A and B are shown apart, each in its own frame.
Chain A
Amino acid sequence: MSPVKRGNTLPIYNRVGVLRAERKMSRAQLAELIEVNPQTVGALERGDHYPSLDLAMRICDVFDLPVEAVFSRQELGPLSAELFRREKNA
């Protein structure tokens, strides 16, 4: 996990694993595209490492998504549920 010099450590959740699986991409393939070791992709997916802004933007470029679609301060639910959620009160 990236060191935080001051203040409380705030979590950063990500959808890297889901997006990678959705595109049938192996960790090694994603690692090659973003120029890191496959184990680093594993660490990102497990939440053991918070990426730098540069790495986060490289990941977003691969998936062609904005940063907020891949990374969030709040725990991320399934992408399909967010896109196609039925309004219960409607």
Chain B
Amino acid sequence: MNTSDSNVLTRYQAYRTRRFIENDAKTRHWLPKWRTQRRRRMLAIAVAATLIILLIISICSLFLEWVPIAWFPATALFLVLWTMLQTVSGRHSDAPTGALDEWEVQQRNEARSIGLTITQGTVLAAIVPLIFLSTTIDNENLAYAGASWTLTALLAGICSPAMILAWITPDPDPEDL
């Protein structure tokens, strides 16, 4: 990487950090009652539950043609819960390094490392049956269903760092407030 590329990267990171801090200033007081560890854990479980629902819908869409319609309410529910979880956990899972201190960076990196492992595992688990089924069954819904469950697997990996951070981050000490 030459100096010019390095400068572009540094400027982009500075821009990301600035945007993140601006956005954080707007949202840090949203949903105050949902910022306790107990509520954050409830949201993490709810997000995991919607991912399981999306997986079930995608598998069922292999056999029933009307089932894909259920994607819309399930996706809407997922987006609401995911946005809430990200808001109450301060979006630390995808925050730029410059917006976090060293302990937060360390926790984020550990959560992302686990998230990468989950992504690899779930996407692999989604693709292997797809390859197997494409050679053994003749189902016109297979492409749609396979794409849906691969997307669900990818979403599980994408969401996992935020879910881990929401789960492990303790309630702030009264002295910290």
Contacts and interface: CB of A to CB of B under 8 A. Distances in A.
Interface of A: 2-3, 26-28, 31, 35-44, 49, 51-52, 55
A3 B105 CA distance: 12
Given A37-B101, A51-B102, 14 more contacts: A2-B106, A27-B175, A31-B176, A36-B101, A37-B103, A38-B175, A39-B103, A39-B176, A40-B102, A43-B103, A44-B103, A49-B106, A52-B102, A55-B102
Contacts of B104: 37, 40
A35 to B, nearest CB: 7
Chain A interface, DSSP helix/strand/loop, else mixed: helix
Interface residues of B, number: 11
Contacts of A35: 101
A41 B175 CA distance: 11
Contacts of A49: 102-103, 106
Nearest to B173: A42
B103 A28 contact: no
10 contacts: A3-B106, A27-B173, A28-B176, A36-B103, A38-B173, A38-B175, A42-B173, A43-B103, A49-B103, A49-B106
B73 interface: no
A40 B173 CA distance: 11
A36 B102 contact: yes
B175 A40 contact: no
B172 interface: yes
Nearest to A37: B101
Interface in B22-64: none
B111 to A, nearest CB: 13
A40 B107 CA distance: 11
Contacts of B172: 38-39
